[in-house]
Amino acid sequence: MSVKQTLVPNKNLDENWVNLMIAARDSGLSIEEVRQFFRECKENEDEPKH
C-alpha cells in the first residue's frame, strides 16, 4: 500500500503538493533539503530582476 493511499482524505491538502512531497522523499531528499530548496526559490523571487 502506498503512502498516498494511507493518508486520510483532507480537502485542505493539495494533491499535487502531496505527490511532490512523496516524490521528494522517494528520491532521498530530507525534509531540511526540501525546506532549503523552497527558501532559495523564495530568495531568488525576491531579488530584483535585471
pLDDT in tens, 22-36: 999 999 999 999 999
Amino acid letter, residue 36: Q
Would 5 be classed as within a structural domain? no
Q: How far apart are CA 29 and CA 22, in angstroms?
A: 10
Instruction: For cell 502506498, name the residue.
Output: 2
Report if residue 1 sits inside a domain.
no
- The domain total for the chain is 1
What range defines the domain where residue 32 resides? Answer: 14-50
Residue 19 falls inside a structural domain = yes
Residue 47 lies inside a defined structural domain of this protein: yes
In a domain? residue 39: yes
Domain assignment present for residue 9? The answer is no
**pTM score, two decimals?**
0.59
Task: State the pLDDT at residue 45.
Answer: 83
Dihedral sign, Cα of residue 20, residue 26, residue 27, residue 30: positive
